[in-house]
Amino acid sequence: MITRPLDLASKLRPEPRNFDFLFFVNGGLLVLFFFFFGSRFVLAPSLGVDFTLAQIPDAGMAQTTHHISVKRDGMIFADNGQITLPQLRVWLDAQKKVTKQPVLLVLEDADVPSSVSTDIWTAAHEAGFGVVLGVEPARAGPTPGR
């Protein structure tokens, strides 16, 4: 039985010569460049870094602990799904007992009526929550569904 009928191995080019020394030449040149042309932007392995993070002294910023979403027709969504305003008051009271300094993030659609926003803010303040409003820029063009 013939196992190599085309004898392709004899038609291949011979293997190239061994160029392993070029690896060491390239490595040496890199070390030489970093040694002679090093800059203050190349960090040495044992150097400490002296920098401090920016401080923002704005007392109005707060890390939120809870969040709700309000859609344009007044639907309120919390962690456990859709709730009504009376259910929101109960939920806020329950969450107030769990968290020491609660802050509520209210994510509203641009089309939410101001009366709904006011009711939500009032309920949150009555429950002892700080309130932060999360907004996005208005969409360009007509509102979908109109």
Using DSSP bridges, classify how beta strands 103-108 and 76-78 pair: parallel, antiparallel or unpaired: unpaired
In a domain? residue 140: no
pLDDT: is 113 or 136 the higher one?
A: 113
pLDDT tops 70 at residue 20: yes
CB 119 within 8 A of CB 79: no
Q: Answer yes or no: is pLDDT of 37 > 80.
A: no
Residue 2 lies in a domain: no
Range of the domain at 128: 66-134
Q: How far, rounded to the nearest angstrom, does the alpha carbon of residue 36 sit from its chain's CA centroid?
A: 40
**Three-state DSSP class for residue 63:** coil
> Which residues, listed in sequence order, are joined to residue 66 by a DSSP beta bridge?
104
In a domain, 105, yes or no: yes
What six digits make up the tokens of 97?
A: 């007992």
Residue 3: pLDDT above 90? Answer: no
Range from 1-5, 19-23, 119-123, 126-130 carrying the lowest mean pLDDT: 1-5
Range 65-84 average pLDDT: 88
Q: Is residue 72 part of a domain?
A: yes
pTM of structure? 0.52
Q: What's the total number of domains in the chain?
A: 1
Inside any domain, residue 94: yes
